Amino acid sequence: MNSILTAISNIVLNPVNELQSFYTSRNRVNNMGEALENYVKDAFSGLLACNSVRKRQNIEQARKDAYKRAFSYQGSQNHPPDMILRNGDAIEVKKIESAGSPLALNSSYPKAKLFADSPMITKKCRACEDWYEKDIIYVVGVVKNNILSKLFFVYGEDYAASKDTYKRIKTAISSGITAIPDVKFAETNELGRVNRVDPLGITYLRIRGMWRIENPAKVFSYVCTSSNSDFEVTAIINTEKYNSFPGSHRESLEMLISDSFKISDVKIKSPDNPAKLRQAKLITFNK
């Protein structure tokens, strides 16, 4: 079984942060978003050690085999999530170039949980396992000039409000648009689509949401501060979730505690009610 705790352990033991073309497909060598996603997959599947020492032969086949064991779903372009751990959590990876930049979510609002009945996910994702609800991890990487300088892990339930908060806004906007008289609307997963706008009926209008959310480093600045290290990893996991992982995962991670790797107890604000605090683990690593 793989988890966020084993992924963090793998990174601490193999702190490679140069996203070389090794992490990108041959025809998209400049796609650092893809490189970061592959890096995260390697961390969760246990391949970081192999990448850092370059000892294993046929690395691409080894990667395919490791991914197949670790993930029940490996993503689809333009549809969340980017991957699902086999019998585990969903993972969404976001690349930014500046530590203070917000995250662009485009037409998909922030998720506290991932639900199988969401219209934003694919049929393949829905059928990858027998599931209805999954916890989702947001993994945010600051990447510039092929170098990963900061990596932040946070669960959606500690970061985003419940789905009703966002659906209420989306529904209100969509309802207002469809109330416009003498306009032909079409079914869509976006905020709206207007067909036959012109007399010839050859023009249509797509109305899309462009969701953004503040960077977790900024959201949780009241419990964690950034360092000046070359490579910084931060994770916030509510204590209930942390304690739900196998004891072996927690013990292996806690054995790594040192001057550069720390696990602290903190209190974080509930996304649905900031006046309510919940216990959490703050995990930090600096290289």
The closest of 134, 132, 47 to 84, measured between CA atoms, is 134
Q: What is the pLDDT of residue 27?
A: 45
Amino acid present at 53? V
User: How high is the pLDDT of residue 84?
Assistant: 98
Q: Rounded CA gap, 90 and 106, in Å?
A: 18
Closest CA to 144 of 10, 17, 14: 17
pLDDT of residue 262: 97
pLDDT, tens digit, 9 for 90 and up, residues 131-153: 999 999 999 999 988 899 999 99
In degrees to the nearest 10, what's the CA dihedral of 223, 225, 231, 235? 10
DSSP letters spanning 91-154:
EEEEEESSTTPPEEEETS---SEEETT-TTS-HHHHTSSS-SEEEEEEEEEEEETTEEEEEEEE
212 contacts 257 by C-beta, under 8 angstroms: no
Which regions of 156-260 does DSSP assign to beta strands (E)? Answer: 184-185, 192-195, 205-207, 211-213, 232-238
Quick one: pLDDT at residue 50? 65
Predicted pLDDT at 85: 98
Peptide bond into 81 cis (omega under 30): yes
With the CA atoms of 99, 210, 132 and 275 taken in that order, what torsion angle do they form, in degrees rounded to the nearest 10? 60
Query: pLDDT of 218-236, one tens digit each?
Result: 999 999 988 889 999 999 9
- The pTM of the full predicted model, rounded to 2 decimals, is 0.90
pLDDT at 107: 82
Q: Which residues of the chain fall short of a pLDDT of 70? A: 20-30, 49-58
